[in-house]
Amino acid sequence: MSVLLKPVLYSYFRSSCSWRVRIALALKGIEYDLVPVNLIKDGGQQLGSDYRKVNPMQQVPALTIDGLKLSQSLAIIQYLDETRPTPRLLPQDPKKRAQVRMISDHIVSGIQPLQNLAVLKQVGEEKMVSWAQHYITRGFQALEQLLQDTAGKYCVEDEVSMADLCLVPQVYNAERFKVDLTPYPTITRINQALLELEAFKQAHPSRQPDTPPEMRA
């Protein structure tokens, strides 16, 4: 008789991509074991040969589940939604589903990669903050406009979706880099509503096993 193994999430407490997946797992009530991968310690633990076997791109997150080894946060979230569809994170209605994917890709492809750790290291310490502020601001200007057509209580009407899982970590990054959020009232309102939900609280960087003591809630 086969033994069902608990999923294993390879994560870094402050990684936006890991955070999205943690929210999805929390929303769906999926228990998992967490393996911390420190992106800074030892020159970056994700760059070691052992972790390369888990994720050849040497990034977090990675998730082992159902005999699969998955990477890329949106691919993981969509797999979870297809195999464990309650609560649904991608709407059944094709128009709403397209809107959720559009907003998710806008953040995941158009904003976050331009201010992640690997890029900022190449930019250099002197330009790091101004670079991040520029690309977050540019992305938020477009995102605020997009949300005028899609938002209800959350990014796409009144149900939590994959788009919301992408939004919250990106707002956190904006605050880290001291981006003025005043021009983005819709983004701010949705983010505040989401942070009241228990799954989002559980997944927050301040509450992870690998969170440094000084950053714990």
Give the helix ranges, DSSP H, for the chain.
16-27, 49-54, 73-83, 94-110, 117-123, 128-150, 162-176, 185-194, 198-203
Model pTM? 0.94
Eight-state DSSP code of residue 35: E
Question: Quick one: pLDDT at residue 1?
Answer: 42
pLDDT tens string 59-89 = 999 999 999 999 999 999 999 999 999 999 9
